[in-house]
Amino acid sequence: MNILVLGIGQSLRGDDAVGLETVRLWQQRYPQSTSRVRLETNELPGPELLDLLEGMDAAVIVDAVQSKAPAGTVMRFGPEELASFKPEAGFAHGWGVAETLQLGVLLYPGLANCRVTLIGIVGSQFDMGAGLSLEVRKVLLKAAEMIEYEVGGWLESGIK
C-alpha cells in the first residue's frame, strides 16, 4: 500500500507555512507511521503534485486555506468534497490543490484511484517574512493528530 503525506506551503510567508510545519510535527510525534509512508514537503505546488500522487493509493495533503472561518480553523476535505470543490473557497496559493487534482484526474485517469484527503488550516497572515500566527500555531498538534488518524486508518484497513 502506497501512502503519501504532503505538506504544502511557503516557509517565508507567515501562515502559508502551516502545511510544512504540521507535517514536520507529525513526523516527530509519530515515527512509526512516518516510516511506513512516503513523506514530502513542497513550497510551490503545481503540476508536480500530480507526479507525487502517481502510484499512490492514498494521500493526506496539508495546506493553508483562506476562508471566512476564524484563523486556526482546521478543515478536512475528503475525496468527495475535493471533487466538488468550487474555486471561490480559496487556497492560500491561488490555483490550489483541489483544482490541480480535478485537472489531474482529467489528464491522468489513474489518479482517480488515489484517495486524497486535504487538511486545510485557515490562516490570517501571509506576509513575506512573517512567522505563523498564534491562532495557527495553536492548532498544529490537532492537525498532526488528524494526519495520524487518516494514515492510521488506511494502514489498518488496507484502504478500501
Assess whether pLDDT exceeds 50 at residue 4.
yes
**Cβ-contact 109, 149 below 8 angstroms:** no
List pLDDT tens digits, range 31-48: 999 999 999 999 876 777
Q: What is the pLDDT of residue 89?
A: 47
Stretch 58-81: mean pLDDT: 89
Look at residues 50, 47, 61 and name the one whose alpha carbon lies nearest to residue 19. Answer: 61
Stretch 60-80: mean pLDDT: 90
> How far is Cα 69 from Cα 32, in angstroms, rounded to an integer?
33
Q: What is the pLDDT of residue 78?
A: 83
List pLDDT tens digits, range 86-134: 554 444 444 466 666 666 665 556 667 788 899 999 999 999 988 999 9
| 150 sits in which H/E element | helix 140-157
* pTM for the model: 0.85
**Cβ-contact 99, 157 below 8 angstroms:** no
List pLDDT tens digits, range 136-151: 999 999 999 999 999 9
Look at residues 64, 49, 72 and name the one whose alpha carbon lies nearest to residue 127. Answer: 64
Domain 3-157, second-level architecture: 3-Layer(aba) Sandwich (3.40)
- What rounded mean pLDDT belongs to the chain? 85
Q: What is the pLDDT of residue 157?
A: 84
Assess whether pLDDT exceeds 90 at residue 67.
no
> How far is Cα 119 from Cα 110, in angstroms, rounded to an integer?
23
C-alpha cell at 127: 506576509
**Cβ-contact 73, 18 below 8 angstroms:** no
**Cβ-contact 148, 141 below 8 angstroms:** no
Assess whether pLDDT exceeds 90 at residue 54.
no
**Cβ-contact 121, 74 below 8 angstroms:** yes
> How far is Cα 113 from Cα 139, in angstroms, rounded to an integer?
30
